[in-house]
Amino acid sequence: MRFGTPYDEIYVDDAFVPEKEARLSVLANAVSYGTGTFEGVRALWNPGQQELYLLEAGAHYVRMGRSARILGLDLPHGPGHLVGVTAELLRRNGVRGDAYVRPLLLQAGEQLAVRMHDSGTRLYIAATPMPGDYIDRRGVRCAVSTWRRAVDTTVPGRAKVTGGYVGPSLAKSEAIRNGFDEAIMLTADGYVAEATTSNILLRTGRDWATPSPADDILDGITRRLVARLLGELAGAAVTERRVHRSELYACDEALLCGTAALVAPVVEVDGRRVGDGRPGEATLAVQSALDAISRRRDPRHPEWTTPVYGGA
């Protein structure tokens, strides 16, 4: 799907301003050097309750604080405050539908200097409507990319760095050009890392596995929720370990998960069917449970969600 245009108001450095005024100079260091960090937070609408819920918003701002620290930048507020700002942004925009919130901490200085220090930052939070699927949740056909995941010693993997998305962008376009839906990226030394903007979990027999952060993945927040639900719904324990490329071809079930993707079954990798080529049972169970929990249609794990309107 394509994102819609952003909602009218954006948060910029402690103020809410019209989207058109939330500008960054083309000379800002973040534009040339990719020096900034960002997050994505899901807001999911429950029409029965007329309520909008943020999914694990606090965890996203905790990760953003860590990303900033890795980069040596300063995130000016803590997670609690930023979750409150996010809810206020959505209320001010009257958001009543599924949306995607995009917090951005960018190097806004315009000096001709490639460095992290002494360049002012600006904090933005924007929201866009996100009706429908970001990636087809009925089944994804993947290709292993010729582009590798950046190693932590080149672009820090634990930080969600704006400049770190050049490789995933190349990988995604390569996959689409070759007739697939999504790319799976390997580590520089050839182990499975993750898809372009989502993590991967796979099952062989009863063994569920997922690569660990030591294999240069972004330590996904959705991945933790999915592992928890696999335990609760399917009695499965997910092992974080190195995963070989050939396991992608031999596995019985695989899924992608992320804030935008939520949970999507992988039905094919490099022209080989995953399992019998249909979405896995546990994957579908977790997909629908996470959707219901995210909208509080299911009473389990209310600690994962924050109401936007009722909380006001």
Q: What does the binding site for ligand PMP look like in residue numbers (CB under 6 A)?
A: 40, 168, 194, 197-199, 218, 220-223, 258-259
Name which of 222 and 306 has its Cβ closer to ligand PMP. 222
CA distance 268 to 305: 32
Which strand (E) or helix (H) includes residue 234?
Answer: helix 221-234
DSSP summary character for residue 5:
P
Residue 212 region by backbone torsions, left for phi larger than 0, else alpha for psi between -120 and 50, else beta = beta
Name which of 109 and 134 has its Cβ closer to ligand PMP. 134
CA distance 185 to 190: 9
Name which of 17 and 292 has its Cβ closer to ligand PMP. 292
Name which of 119 and 175 has its Cβ closer to ligand PMP. 175
Least distance to ligand PMP from the beta carbon of 42, Å?
8
Least distance to ligand PMP from the beta carbon of 302, Å?
19
CA distance 202 to 306: 30
Least distance to ligand PMP from the beta carbon of 177, Å?
20
**Contact predicate 41/82, CB 8 Å:** no
CA distance 138 to 148: 27
**Contact predicate 1/14, CB 8 Å:** no
Least distance to ligand PMP from the beta carbon of 88, Å?
22
Name which of 9 and 216 has its Cβ closer to ligand PMP. 216
Query: Which residue's beta carbon is nearest to the bound ligand PMP?
Result: 220
Least distance to ligand PMP from the beta carbon of 99, Å?
15
